[in-house]
């Protein structure tokens, strides 16, 4: 089919107005031509000859300005491309191929044997072969039409099958793909940006109607793990308060050392380069490739940040020894506030209260469930294997919280121990609930002597809430109970400050009401009411019999957090904990850094966030931050973070060499320094290829199966020539429509004609002595 069309000059500026431009220029040329014919003194024969030559030049110029062209649509056979992906990672050096050869040697032989079949395939001009070698990425390699040149031994540190498939499809995907031959051991070992799922790329190839021919190499049971001890995991980041025990647990996988004792140590590096063993254990595998769990314990005696190392002893014959240890960092917090929370009922209040306290890095909450469903065993003698008396020893915890827990859960002897601990300085908080206070029988325990709320011994000794029965209204306040600071103490007390200055009253008014509460009759001598209902009934009472004691009638402050008052909810409970522990005079804020991880491999992106908090634990607005990366040699390099709300976020994308690094963030506000935070992390080298060298033919089969409908399948190395012969025999039955554009105004003969006409005219004018 032929289509003629014009494309006048300047149409890119004037559109169809280009025809008008050509028309004006054409009329001007014809007018000049006509004037030269009519108004000249030459004889008519000469006049006609020159006019004819000039008219030819004008016609050629107008044609050049109109730029005529012809568009022809032709059908042509579409050539097909066969992609070949060859694994050049170091796991291919494992000697588990037939005859004691390496996987790489087996692959080279397979493709050398397939050379004649490759030559026959490329001999057909309708096909082309594009080979690539890959490890972390794919690189085109030499192909002379007969033989793929694989080069020397493989040295790739990763096997990124998914990334390689994505890369070659991006380069060659616009072509008609005959298929993809994937030759690999299937041992996927990737980090960072190379971690693309090959299954997703296989589905993408299926959508392109491209079959995958998977050629597997290596044995499922052989190779790199025949003699290896690998520390697979350990906690990534650890925090503990000084003189508290930290547990370090993880897994070790053992290949080739069956029924042999493998010593495993926990080392603490207090000074650079001087790790000291602090715990040890022994592991023994009873089957090859067994994964064993370890658990090591350590109690730091001084605050600071230390490097912890879990190290498995190197065994004779190990190929890869850099996987025998893992490291992380332990942050030991000074003077941390330790809270023991005893709860009986699974209720929303405990979840939100614990979250509010745990949001402060200096508060450590230990929750112990004493479920009423187990009350046939009450009173308990121990919790989680530890005697009750141990929990109530002076100095064990700074603050004790008793939730909706019936007093019958523990003995009066144990409640007496808790009373003595509070008298010696510990804080005590009792929360409202169906089995708190008098309904829970606490009037008959030693704790009644230190509570700030009033009671009547004769009357209250008979009050008791029975299990799963009617709740007498005399015990509780029903319905919504709006909480507000009580006068004269509440509005000025540290606990009740939700906002600075005059905004505090408004902050309390915005809080949603509590859902019911325990009924308090008042406070005893020495106690004060800090919060009350709108009708004046006490909700929060305080006393200081030695340590500090709070009695809170409510159990639904979680409503505050659920109604967009989460900041006030966190602030209230943090202030409760600090006041009970006598830390309410602390005025120092803090700067903190959060790292996604403390361990990275070279090439992995390192993300961090940092922010500043006030002494009350709320985020500080308007602070300015500077960030630096401290290299292992002490050199400092600036980091350019981005602002995200009241915090900053940063990312290090450089491929850092192995070593210990530090991110340092300094915060300032109104030209005053708020503080500096430091977070260390480790970049460590791990031989992924020899650590995880086990061939995975199942993965290779799954990739081929994803394109089964397109003809994909698993092909054994010796079957490669047969596969290539099949591909070469396929008819080229795919045609493509090609538009062929033929122009005439810019051809050589137009130029020759124009020059010829002008030359003849010049010759005649010269001959007739007109110039």
For the stretch 525-563, pLDDT in tens is 889 999 999 999 999 999 999 999 999 999 999 999 999
pLDDT band at 586 (very low <50, low <70, confident <90, very high): very low
Measure Cα distances from 179 to 156, 197, 210, 704 in Å. 25, 19, 5, 11
Sign of CA dihedral 574, 576, 581, 584: positive
Average pLDDT in the 677-696 region?
A: 78
Look at residue 691 in the predicted model and tell me its pLDDT. Answer: 65
Give the whole-angstrom CA distance, residue 267 versus residue 264. Answer: 10
Sign of CA dihedral 84, 90, 91, 92: positive
Look at residue 702 in the predicted model and tell me its pLDDT. Answer: 92
**Contact at 8 Å (CB) between 453 and 551?**
yes
pLDDT in tens, 397-416: 999 999 999 999 999 999 99
Task: Give me the half-sphere count of Cα atoms (radius 13 Å) on the Cβ side of residue 725.
Answer: 8
Look at residue 389 in the predicted model and tell me its pLDDT. Answer: 93
Enter the tokens of residue 731: 């008819």
Give the whole-angstrom CA distance, residue 249 versus residue 263. Answer: 15
Look at residue 142 in the predicted model and tell me its pLDDT. Answer: 87
Model confidence at 689: pLDDT above 70: no
Look at residue 401 in the predicted model and tell me its pLDDT. Answer: 97
Model confidence at 222: pLDDT above 70: no
In this structure, the number of other CB atoms found within 10 A of the CB of residue 500 comes to 9
Look at residue 573 in the predicted model and tell me its pLDDT. Answer: 94
Better-scored residue on pLDDT, 62 or 692? 62
Look at residue 191 in the predicted model and tell me its pLDDT. Answer: 64
Enter the tokens of residue 490: 């509440």
Model confidence at 258: pLDDT above 70: yes
Give the whole-angstrom CA distance, residue 372 versus residue 344. Answer: 6
Model confidence at 137: pLDDT above 60: yes
Give the whole-angstrom CA distance, residue 403 versus residue 400. Answer: 10
pLDDT band at 301 (very low <50, low <70, confident <90, very high): confident
pLDDT in tens, 69-124: 888 876 666 678 899 999 998 888 888 888 788 899 999 999 999 988 888 888 77
**Any idea which of 6-10, 157-161, 211-215, 634-638 has the lowest mean pLDDT?**
6-10
Task: Work out whether strand 672-683 and strand 659-669 pair parallel, antiparallel, or are unpaired.
Answer: antiparallel
Give the whole-angstrom CA distance, residue 156 versus residue 173. Answer: 25
Better-scored residue on pLDDT, 659 or 219? 659
Mean of per-residue pLDDT scores for the chain = 86
Give the whole-angstrom CA distance, residue 535 versus residue 476. Answer: 15
Give the whole-angstrom CA distance, residue 419 versus residue 404. Answer: 18
Give the whole-angstrom CA distance, residue 2 versus residue 299. Answer: 88
What angle (nearest 5°) sits at the alpha carbon of residue 264, between those of residues 262 and 266? 175
**Contact at 8 Å (CB) between 178 and 127?**
yes
Give the whole-angstrom CA distance, residue 44 versus residue 33. Answer: 15
Those residues whose C-beta lies under 8 Å from the C-beta of residue 90, and which sit 6 or more positions away, are 154, 155, 156, 157, 687, 689, 690
Look at residue 671 in the predicted model and tell me its pLDDT. Answer: 63
H helices of 147-300, where?
161-172, 198-207
H helices of 129-179, where?
161-172
């Amino acid at each position: 089919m032929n289509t003629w069309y014009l494309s006048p000059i300047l149409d890119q500026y004037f559109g169809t107005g280009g025809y008008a431009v050509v028309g004006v220029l054409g009329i001007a040329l014809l007018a000049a031509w006509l004037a030269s014919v009519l108004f000249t003194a030459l004889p008519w024969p000469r006049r006609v000859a020159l006019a004819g030559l000039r008219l030819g030049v004008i016609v050629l110029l107008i044609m050049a300005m109109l730029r005529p062209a012809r568009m022809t649509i032709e059908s042509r056979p579409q050539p097909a491309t066969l992609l070949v992906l060859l694994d050049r990672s170091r796991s291919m050096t494992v000697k588990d191929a037939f005859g004691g050869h390496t996987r790489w040697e087996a692959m080279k032989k397979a493709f050398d044997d397939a050379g004649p079949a490759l030559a026959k395939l490329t001999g057909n001009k309708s096909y082309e072969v594009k080979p690539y070698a890959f490890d972390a990425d794919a690189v085109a390699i030499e192909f002379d039409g007969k033989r793929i040149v694989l080069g020397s031994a493989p040295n790739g540190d990763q096997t990124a099958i998914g990334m390689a498939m994505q890369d070659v499809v991006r380069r060659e995907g616009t072509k008609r793909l005959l298929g993809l031959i994937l030759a690999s051991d299937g041992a996927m070992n990737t980090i960072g940006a190379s971690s693309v799922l090959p299954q997703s790329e296989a589905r993408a190839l299926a959508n392109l109607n491209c079959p995958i021919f998977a050629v597997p190499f290596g044995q499922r049971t052989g190779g790199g793990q025949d003699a290896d001890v690998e520390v697979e995991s350990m906690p990534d980041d650890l925090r503990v308060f000084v003189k508290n025990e930290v547990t370090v647990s993880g897994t070790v996988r053992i290949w080739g050392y069956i029924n042999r004792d493998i010593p495993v140590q926990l080392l603490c590096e207090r000074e650079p380069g001087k790790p000291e063993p602090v715990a040890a254990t022994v592991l023994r595998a009873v089957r090859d490739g067994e994964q064993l769990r370890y658990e090591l314990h350590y109690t730091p005696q001084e605050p600071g940040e230390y490097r912890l190392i879990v190290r498995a002893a190197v065994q004779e014959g190990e190929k890869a020894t850099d996987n025998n240890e893992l490291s992380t960092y332990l942050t030991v917090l000074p003077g941390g506030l330790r809270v023991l929370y005893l709860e009986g009922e699974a209720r929303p209040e405990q979840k939100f209260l614990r979250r509010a306290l745990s949001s402060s890095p200096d508060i450590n909450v230990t929750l112990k469930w004493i479920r009423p469903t187990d009350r046939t065993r009450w009173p308990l003698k121990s919790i989680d294997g530890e005697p009750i008396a141990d929990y109530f020893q002076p100095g064990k915890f700074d603050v004790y919280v008793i939730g909706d827990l019936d007093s019958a859960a523990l003995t009066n002897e144990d409640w007496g121990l808790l009373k003595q601990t509070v008298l010696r300085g510990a804080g005590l908080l009792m929360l409202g609930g169906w089995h708190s206070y008098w309904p829970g029988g606490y009037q008959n325990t030693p704790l009644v002597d230190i509570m700030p709320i009033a009671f009547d011994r004769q009357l209250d000794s008979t009050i008791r809430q029975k299990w799963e029965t009617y709740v007498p209204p005399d015990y509780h306040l029903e319905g919504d109970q709006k909480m507000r600071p009580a006068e004269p103490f509440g509005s000025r007390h540290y606990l009740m400050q939700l906002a600075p200055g005059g905004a505090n009253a408004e902050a309390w008014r915005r809080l949603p009401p509590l859902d019911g509460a325990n009924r308090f009759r008042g406070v005893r001598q020495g106690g004060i009411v800090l919060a009350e209902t709108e009708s004046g009934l006490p909700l929060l009472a305080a006393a200081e019999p030695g340590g500090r004691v709070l009695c809170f009638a409510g159990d639904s402050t979680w409503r505050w957090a659920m109604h967009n008052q989460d900041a006030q909810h966190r602030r209230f409970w943090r202030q409760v904990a600090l006041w009970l522990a006598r830390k309410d005079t602390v005025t120092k804020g803090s700067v903190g850094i959060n790292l996604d991880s403390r361990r990275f491999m070279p090439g992995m992106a390192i993300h961090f966030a940092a922010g500043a908090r006030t002494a009350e634990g709320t985020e500080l607005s308007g602070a300015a931050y500077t960030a630096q990366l401290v290299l292992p040699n002490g050199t400092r390099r600036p980091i350019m973070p981005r602002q995200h709300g009241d915090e900053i976020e940063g990312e290090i994308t450089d491929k850092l060499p192995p070593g210990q690094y530090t991110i340092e963030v300094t915060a300032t506000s109104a030209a005053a320094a708020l503080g500096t935070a430091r977070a260390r992390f480790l970049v460590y080298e791990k031989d992924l290829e020899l650590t995880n060298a086990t061939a995975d033919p199942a993965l290779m089969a799954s990739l081929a199966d994803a394109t089964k409908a397109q003809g994909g399948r698993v092909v054994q190395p010796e079957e490669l020539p047969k596969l290539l012969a099949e591909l070469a025999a396929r008819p080229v039955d795919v045609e493509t429509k090609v538009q062929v554009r033929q122009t005439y105004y810019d051809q050589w003969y137009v130029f020759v004609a124009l020059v010829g006409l002008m030359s003849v005219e010049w010759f005649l004018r010269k001959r007739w002595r007109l110039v």
